[in-house]
Amino acid sequence: MTYESAPLLAALAGATEDRIFYDLAGIESRYDTLRAELPGVAVRFAMKACPVDEVLTRLAQKGAGIDGASPRELRQALRAGVPVERTHYGNTVKSDRDIAEAHRLGVRDFVTDSVEDLAAIAAHAPGARVFCRLATSGEGALWGLSHKFGCPPADAVRILEAARGMGLTPSGLSVHVGSQQMTADAWHHAVECLADVLTALARRGIVLDHVNLGGGLPAMGYLDRYGRPLDPPLDKIFAVVREGMRHLRKVHGEHLAFVMEPGRHLVADHGAVRAHVARLAERRRPDGEHQYWLYLSCGKFNGLYEMDALQYPLRFPTHHGGAHVPAVVAGPTCDSDDAYPQGHALVQVPRELASGDPVWVLSSGAYAIGYTTQGFNGFAPLPYTCVGGARA
């Protein structure tokens, strides 16, 4: 299913220049749905997915916190009105100075996956609450995140035991099953792993009070490699997470509190880019075959960072009907990664597209603003506007 909210479509239709729009009411309603599907789960929005003040403020007003990855992110969230007790430092990579600064800001929850980082937390954020991140396989996700983050179960036990010895509070375990995770199984495996580590910790007299189930919940509006809706099994994922929580509480105590750090899921479908056609060109490949290329004004470096990995629904509002041709879709810069993924089927585009015609890129609200360059090749960052502003 593609996501075309009325406020977003109205904003896109009214735009005469390139811009990204966020539908605040849409983001709020996605948050409400998530809270209803997973009762009792505290949401810490992974703000890197959309570091926009208005979004942070509105989510904070609804009761959400944030997952921050640097002192600068944490400061932005605090300025936008997120209460400090609903923030945590979720990045396992941090310098001494980063830790000290977060501690000065009042942040008390830190995620770690190494003894070195743990010792630095003990030194620069004395008394902090520590979460240890477990590695996952990342299977089933578009971005696995398995290589850089997390430790095996035995190391998690060792790290949380060491935390206790250093005067820190061992508070929780965290996982991230990989971004745009398409399988419910990934959460099932994560819960099994969490249960094993909780058991091993309990044997050593360490009882945690939190489990952080991470991000990874999918956006619903992307297309697959053939241009069909991706349709992630969201209901099944929610059911598996609910069952996992029930199981963990039954075995390890009803006191266990759950946190999730969705990023993409909350914002992707409620953001859309108004771009324009730079050129539709018919080119000959080295093997002599003809191929259409649709060059957009926006691409990997100015708003569509993930365009080389996934396919967004495109709309051509000035061309209804008429002849269509299959085209490779690409951004405007001199970088060959600035294009839809190789191996994806071509996108049907109107044959009569002219330079300057508007193109709407739907479900493009995640990882747009933060990943944009300062103007690679002179293509300026996209300005943004929030719509759906009126709060009931």
Ligand X SMILES: *Cc1c(COP(=O)(O)O)cnc(C)c1O
Q: Which residues bind ligand X (CB under 6 A)?
A: 46, 48-49, 67, 90, 176, 179, 214-217, 261-265
- Write the DSSP symbol of residue 44: E
DSSP state of 345: P
User: For residues 69 and 94, is the Cβ–Cβ distance under 8 A?
Assistant: no
Minimum CB distance to ligand X, residue 3 (Å): 16
**Minimum Å distance from CB 203 to ligand X?**
28
Residues forming a β-bridge with 187: none
Q: Given the complex with ligand X, which of 268 and 278 has the nearer CB atom?
A: 268
DSSP string, 274-294: EEEEEEEEEEE-TTS-EEEEE
Max Cα distance, the chain (Å) = 71
- The smaller minimum CB distance to ligand X, of residues 23 and 67, is found at 67
Name the closest residue to ligand X (Cβ): 215
**Judged by CB, which is closer to ligand X: 160, or 186?**
186
- Positive or negative: CA dihedral 72, 77, 80, 81: negative
CB of 49 to ligand X, least distance (A): 5
User: 92 vs 311, which CB is nearer to ligand X?
Assistant: 92
Give the contacts of 5 (CB within 8 A, at least 6 positions apart): 23, 26, 270, 388
Residue written as tokens 């060792």?
158
Radius of gyration of the chain (CA): 22
Structure tokens at 36: 């209803």
Question: Where do we find the tokens 């006191």?
Answer: 255
Sign of the alpha-carbon torsion through 180, 184, 185, 191:
positive
State phi, psi for 389 to the nearest 5 degrees. Answer: -75, -35
Nearer to ligand X, 28 or 306 (CB): 306
Question: Of the two residues 264 and 319, which places its CB atom closer to ligand X in the complex?
Answer: 264
Output DSSP code: residue 288: S
State in angstroms the smallest separation of the CB of 263 from ligand X: 3
Other Cβ atoms less than 10 A from the Cβ of 93: the count is 13
Q: Which residue has the tokens 């509480």?
A: 249
Neighbours of 36 (CB within 10 A): 9
Q: What single DSSP character describes residue 148?
A: T
Nearer to ligand X, 292 or 312 (CB): 312
| Tokens standing for residue 50 | 């959309």
Residue (29 or 318) nearer to ligand X, CB: 29
For 127, phi then psi, to 5°, come to: 80, 0
CA angle 336, 340, 341 (to 5 degrees): 85
- Residue 263 or 332: the one with the smaller Cβ distance to ligand X is 263
